[in-house]
Structure formats: structure tokens, C-alpha cells
Amino acid sequence: MKRQFSLHRFLSQALRLPMAGPVFKLYAPRRRWKRSSGSPPRQRILIANLMPSLGDTICYMALVEVLRDALPEAEITWLADSAMAGLVAQHPDIDRVLTITIPPSRLLRIPTLGTYYRLYNIMRSILGMQLDFPFNIAIVPRGGVDPSFSAHAVWMLNLPRSAGYSHLVEPADIDHHFGDPLVTDLEATIPTLHEAARGIHLLELIGVAPGALQHFTPESTLLRGLHAIASSVDYPSLLQKAGIPANQPFMVLSSGAGLPRKTWPAHKFRELTSRILTNSGMLVVLTGSKTEVAVADTIADGLGDRVINTAGKLNLTELIALISHAAAFVGNDSGAGHIAGPLGIPLISLHVQAKNSDPYYIHAPEHYRPLGPHVTILQPEHFLAPCTVRCESTTVHCLDQITVDQVWTALERTMTLPLLHSTSSPSST
């Protein structure tokens, strides 16, 4: 896709030139490893993913589980942003987590300066880590464009081998293609694979897990790590904290998303909630972050005590445990949906990318749908002008084409606990 010239983008790229791999190599320090008479007791593998995204993190849990099955004796370390480090540390197949913390600063609010501030703190963290032996290999699973500088961190670690994807695998998103020269084994072929499968494909390419992709399909994958995390929570105590009556079946609705254009309107979530209450005996549990409390309040207002608002009340581990017991989940293309799918929960996921768009565009559901065997994807039929290859709106726009009737019909078809009866309204906003 050829993009129109943008002076703002041109200046932004020019100001960020020192972050590009060839220039970064000229000035960035590399870790020096002390010579030791001993040797590490087992193979040491580093997964480098500094994206603070829940969806990315869960996708790469699949890579970890394939890696553990292939090399049961290896030491698996994950290099994580502090936002995801706590979750990753609970995965039973991960031996160690190295955390990069970006201290709060007003600089983070300034686009280019904030990026340099992040890179500086990654550099400082890498050089200050207490490590005895170098890793045998580092894997950078993020598919090509990584604005969180995972490849930069790996280069500073000064390891004998690293593997990652070129920015060429994401030709539609070119604003952060700085890391290509920083990994030793660079894969530039564009694999038309789900993001989780791309990470596993790297294991095949470097010879760590030959044939791994033959045993992996996004449409059937359940993640044992997520199940283990969910099982670690005292569920009766969680129900009490959330205000959910015991032994009552419930659906989970998650109305939040990372961007407004990916967020289905609150009034439609409210209408869907009302329809669930009318046509079933189930509770509706609303979830969301602290920033999404007001939206959840709007959805729940006046609908009675069978709607339970947990937005802002649960930590990430508790949210995983709660979703693991749900009869169904409805939500936007967001991290919470990526939890429900690989737990095996019937999931209705609302995606902003239109059906007639490139199926392997970075944000397309074919590339980034939640893992799991009971996932239903709903998309707009087409983009609304002026959008063409993706929704460019700063507010909900293309996604608003999905109706409550469409979601209700999909929910009826996928429920493991059937609705008592159906009364679809003749028209829906």
C-alpha cells in the first residue's frame, strides 16, 4: 500500500532516525559478559516482547508452550514490559521474567521525545540487569513492526544469536521499522499466518522446534498457562469481591478497547444487555479497566441487580479467573477477548476491520483473532467513506455498522447454555 506524502510523518521519521538499526549500532552500548570457568546448566532461551499489550502477550504464550514441549529442559526467560510482567511470571512454563520499567514522566506525552525516553530507560535497564550467563538465543516474536524496541533490547544484550521478523511482513504499518539490522537471523518472507503462529514459525526457522506449526491451529488452541493462572485464584472469594451470587450462570460483556474506533457504542451494549436479561435467566457481568468504569455504569444504569458491574474492581489475574467461569463472552477486539478465546469460552468478538479488506493486514481478525475453538468474529461489511484500507476515524465509525440483532443472533448460535427463548426485535440501532 502506497501512502500519501505527509509532512508530519516525514518530520517524525527524520527526528527518529537515530533509533534506526544502523545508526543505533553506532552509539548504543552493548552488555559485556564476564568470562566464567563454568557453563550454564541448560540451554537458555529468551523471549523478548516489550509490547505492553495483553493481546500480544497471550498470543506469545502459545509460543512458550510449544517451546516448552519441544525443549522440556530448557530455561525459558521472558523480557517484559512492567505492565505485563506480573501476568507472564505466573505462567508455569516460564522460568524467569526480566522486567523493563519505564518511569512515569511528562516526556511520555510528547510523541518523539517520549519514544527516546522509553529507549533510554530500556538501555539503562538492560545494562543494569544482574545476569550470570548469556542466553543461547533470543526470539523477538512480534511480527515485524515493534514500536516497543524489543530488537534494540536484544542487540544491547550482546547475544550470539537472535531471531525476528523484518518490517516487510507488515508493509501497511511502516512508522516503526527500526529494528531489522539488530537481529542475526532475520526473516523477511511474508507468512500469511496468525500472529501467534508467526512466533511459532520462528522456532521452526531457527531449528528449535521443527514441525511445530503442524500441531498448532489458532482455531483450536487452548492455553494451559491461562488455565493454570485462572485455577490459582480462590474463586469463591473472587465471587464475593465482585458481588456475584454463587451458582448463578453469567455472561461477561466487555465494552472497552484500546481505541475509540474499535469500541462498539455503549448504547448498543446496553440494548444487548437488556435483551439477555429478558430472554434468559443469566446474570450479565460487565468488566473493564478503571478508565472504563463510567461506560460500564452507563450500560448498567437502571437494568436491575442481575447486571453486575466489576469494571475497575478486578486485577488481571482475577479477570482471567472470572472469565474462565463465564457461559459466554461478548466484547470488542481487546485484551479481554484474547483471554476468553483460549480458555475455551464461547466468544463473540467485534472487529473494526471490514470483511472486504486485506485478510492479513496487521489488525485483521485473520491475523489477530483471539485464539480458541469457540470464537465468532463479527465485522462491518465494508468501510465507510472516507476509510478505505482501515478505519481512520478518531471515534466509533465503521464498527457502528454491526447491529445488536447481529450480535444477538451470533450469541444464540454459540451459547453452550441455551437462551430460554428468543425475541429478536424487528429493528435495531
**CATH classification at residue 403:** 3.40.50.2000
Same domain, 70 and 146: yes
Compute the Cα dihedral for 335, 338, 343, 345 and give only its sign: positive
Any idea which of 46-50, 169-173, 315-319, 404-408 has the lowest mean pLDDT? 169-173
Do residue 144 and residue 234 come from a single domain?
A: no
| Phi/psi at 139 (5° precision) | -115, 125
409 phi, psi to nearest 5 deg: -65, -45
Residue 263 cell numbers, joined: 469500541
Helix (H) or strand (E) holding 196: helix 195-205
Q: Are residues 232 and 117 in the same domain?
A: no
- Rounded distance between C-alpha atoms, residue 157 and residue 135, angstroms: 9
Cα separation, 364 vs 21, in Å, equals: 28
Same domain, 212 and 278: no
- Structural element, H or E, at residue 285: strand 283-287
222 falls within a domain = no
Q: Which pLDDT score is estimated for 277?
A: 94
Least confident of 160-174, 213-227, 360-374: 160-174
Q: List beta partners, residue 331.
A: 254, 349
| Residue span of the structural domain in which 32 resides | 8-216
Residue type, position 248, single letter: Q
* Higher pLDDT among residues 166 and 103, named by residue: 103
The three-point CA angle 192-374-367 to 5° equals 20
**How confident is the model at residue 403, as a pLDDT?**
96
Cα–Cα separations (whole angstroms), residue 110 to 45, 99, 106: 35, 24, 7
In this structure, the answer to whether residues 162 and 287 fall within a common structural domain is no
The percent of residues in the chain predicted with pLDDT above 70, rounded, is: 89
3-state secondary structure 119-188: HHHHHHHHHHCCCCCCCCEEEECCCCCCCCCHHHHHHHHCCCCEEEECHHHCCCCCCCCCCHHHCCEEEC
Q: Which run of H or E residues covers position 313?
A: none
29 lies in the same domain as 155: yes
∠ CA 266-271-273, rounded to 5°: 90
Same domain, 362 and 338: yes
Total residue length of the chain: 429
Residues 283 and 370 in one domain: yes
Among 216, 243, 262, identify where a domain stops. Answer: 216
Q: Using the 8-state DSSP alphabet, how is residue 255 labeled?
A: -
CA distance 260 to 399: 10
The answer to whether residues 132 and 235 belong to one domain is no
Decide if 106 is inside a domain: yes
Where is the domain boundary, 169, 190, 216? Answer: 216
Instruction: Locate 277 and state its grid cell.
Output: 436479561
* Residue 421 within a domain: no
Q: Cell for 195?
A: 500472529
Beta strands in 336-383 (DSSP E): 347-350, 375-378
Q: For residues 397 and 369, is the Cβ–Cβ distance under 8 A?
A: no
The verdict on 182 and 306 lying in the same domain is no
Q: Is the predicted pLDDT of residue 127 greater than 60, yes or no?
A: yes
Q: Of the given ranges (76-90, 151-165, 204-218), which has the lowest mean pLDDT?
A: 204-218
Nearest CA-CA partner of 153 in 12, 63, 33, 51: 51
Work out the percent of the chain whose per-residue pLDDT is above 90: 63
Task: Reply yes or no on whether the pLDDT at 423 is more than 50.
Answer: no
429 domain-assigned = no
Per-residue pLDDT at 420 exceeds 50? no
194 and 231 co-located in one domain? no
Q: Which residues have a Cβ under 8 Å from the Cβ of 285 and sit 6 or more positions away?
A: 242, 244, 250, 251, 252, 253, 308, 310, 322, 326
Residue 337 domain-assigned? yes
Single residue among 182, 216, 250 that ends a domain in this structure: 216
CA 349 – CA 339 distance, rounded (Å): 12
CA 193 centroid distance within chain: 16
CA distance 104 to 289: 19
Domain count, the chain: 2
Cα Rg of the chain, angstroms: 22
Q: Name the nearest CA neighbour of 408 among 271, 282, 297, 306.
A: 271
- Residue 4 C-alpha cell reads as 500519501
pLDDT of 147 reads: 79
The per-residue pLDDT for 9 is 62
Question: Would you say residue 401 lies in a domain?
Answer: yes
Task: Note whether 242 and 148 are same-domain residues.
Answer: no
- C-beta separation of 153 from 81 below 8 A: no
Alpha-carbon torsion angle 17, 21, 24, 29, nearest 10 = 160
Q: For residue 222, is pLDDT > 50? A: yes
pLDDT higher at 137 or 187: 137
> What is the model's pLDDT at position 190?
66
